[in-house]
Amino acid sequence: MPYRLTIEPSGHEMDCDSDETILEAALRHGFNIPYSCRNGTCATCKGRILSGTVDYGDIEEKVLSEAEKMDGLALFCQAMPLSDLKIEVREIGAAKDIQIKTLPARVAKIEDVAPDVRALFLKIPSTERLQFLPGQYIDILLKDGGRRGFSLANTPNDDALLELHIKKVEGGTFTGHVFSAMKEKDIVRFEGPLGTFFVRQESTRPLLMVATGTGFAPLKGMLESLFAQGSIRPIHFYWGVRHSEDFYYEDLLQEWQSLHNHFNLTKIVSQPDSRWSGPTGYVTEQVIKDFPDASAFDAYICGHPDMVFSLSAALAQAGLDSEHIFADAFVFAK
Ligand code: FES
């Protein structure tokens, strides 16, 4: 039996089936609420239950603690209704009218960009157009019914090829295939665009953008889009990796630095060797050291959940309100 779901403060009402998550119901009715991973790991969809009860689903304590549940919070990508519900969440208008499509794509180009990272360039049929916001992701659909999410690294105004950055994962079914057998002209199927990780254009705040590893991909799309728009919002971009050879697109980074005075780049290595002379350590500590008062920024963070959670908490401690923190936490797709 469907329950009644009301989103506040908008007052939008809809039905939500008892075997459907709150997020699925909202998206089914065309209301876009924040989400990213859809599997309970990133906490992007965390929001407040104002009234009613839910089945919280099988979630890890570090993503949603017992104390947060007691405080009325839930993960909307996991929580299913046990009664009529009223929830509190900010709806996102920008992605609302973008159609999510399932499309085939041809592998147009494969480039090795770092020891364990391949850039995959996909061409969709010429009769199709994929409208998306920079920073969103697509799910590659596997033959066994599985799906693997990858951020789009290109911009909508440069969409002849869709660009994905694939990190090799030991024992990974899909990434193993990408590194061992995939070749140009292969066909893949995908669904997208997905997620609500994109730059809020209505803001004029300076930007703090932080990536680890291939978390660089969606931020690359966001940055190129901001540059193309002529935005002059100051940008402080931090990129953390384990080894210095894990950085890639050096020429592009240098070009951004030489062309855009408002773009500041900090690269940081956590396990440096003698070839690295730049900053060392973890991005979280470096960002907070540089900005002990972070209250004026909009922060966009993408990388491993541990980094995303620790930096989000540290930024909150440094005075940044949670409504100005946008994050995309991912575990490497296998
Ligand atoms: Fe719900 Fe990631 S935890 S979208």
Q: What is the pLDDT of residue 65?
A: 94
For the chain, give the mean pLDDT.
93
Ligand 1 center to residue 50 CA distance, Å?
Answer: 19
41/165 Cα distance (integer angstroms)? 20
Ligand 1 center to residue 154 CA distance, Å?
Answer: 23
Tally Cβ neighbours within 10 Å of residue 305.
18
Inter-residue contact 175 to 169 (CB < 8 Å) = yes
- The mean pLDDT value for 57-86 works out to 95
Which region among 36-50, 113-127, 308-322 has the lowest average model confidence (pLDDT)? 36-50
Query: ipTM of the predicted structure?
Result: 0.99
Ligand 1 center to residue 295 CA distance, Å?
Answer: 25
Provide the CATH topology of domain 207-329: Rossmann fold (3.40.50)
Domain coordinates in residue numbering, the chain: 3-88, 101-194, 207-329
Best of 21, 22, 38 for a ligand 1 pocket test (most atoms within 8 Å of beta carbon): 38
Atom nearest to 75 CA in ligand 1: 1
Provide the CATH topology of domain 101-194: Elongation Factor Tu (Ef-tu); domain 3 (2.40.30)
Q: Selecting from 1.20.120.550, 3.10.20.30, 3.40.50.970, 3.40.47.10, what CATH number does the domain 3-88 have?
A: 3.10.20.30
* Two tokens, residue 146: 């599985």
Does position 330 have pLDDT exceeding 80, yes or no?
no
Ligand 1 center to residue 37 CA distance, Å?
Answer: 5
Ligand 1 center to residue 185 CA distance, Å?
Answer: 33
Ligand 1 center to residue 263 CA distance, Å?
Answer: 30
Atom nearest to 42 CA in ligand 1: 2
Atom nearest to 78 CA in ligand 1: 1
Ligand 1 center to residue 63 CA distance, Å?
Answer: 9
Q: What is the pLDDT of residue 332?
A: 61
pLDDT in tens, 262-300: 999 999 999 999 999 999 999 999 999 999 999 999 999
- The mean pLDDT value for 115-132 works out to 93
* Two tokens, residue 115: 């020891």
Ligand 1 center to residue 277 CA distance, Å?
Answer: 37
71/232 Cα distance (integer angstroms)? 40
pLDDT in tens, 129-160: 898 999 999 999 999 999 999 999 999 878 88
Q: What is the DSSP string of 174-207?
A: HHHHHHHT--TT-EEEEEEEE-S-S--TT--S-E
Strand 207-212 and strand 147-151: the pairing is unpaired
Best of 60, 75, 302, 309 for a ligand 1 pocket test (most atoms within 8 Å of beta carbon): 75
230/215 Cα distance (integer angstroms)? 24
Ligand 1 center to residue 65 CA distance, Å?
Answer: 14
Does position 20 have pLDDT exceeding 70, yes or no?
yes
Backbone angles phi, psi at 240, to 5 degrees: -110, 135
Residue 22 CB contacts under 8 Å (≥ 6 apart), including other chains: 5, 16, 54, 74, 76, 77, 79, 80, 81, 85, 87
| Residue of 44, 49, 37, 41 lying closest to 74 (CA atoms) | 49
Atom nearest to 76 CA in ligand 1: 1
Ligand 1, atom 3: nearest CA belongs to which residue? 40
Cis check: omega of the bond before 9, within 30 degrees of 0: yes
Atom nearest to 59 CA in ligand 1: 3
The set of protein residues with a Cβ atom below 6 angstroms from ligand 1 is: 35-38, 40-45, 75, 77
pLDDT-derived band at 226, boundaries 50, 70, 90: very high
Inter-residue contact 178 to 167 (CB < 8 Å) = no
Best of 22, 36, 302 for a ligand 1 pocket test (most atoms within 8 Å of beta carbon): 36
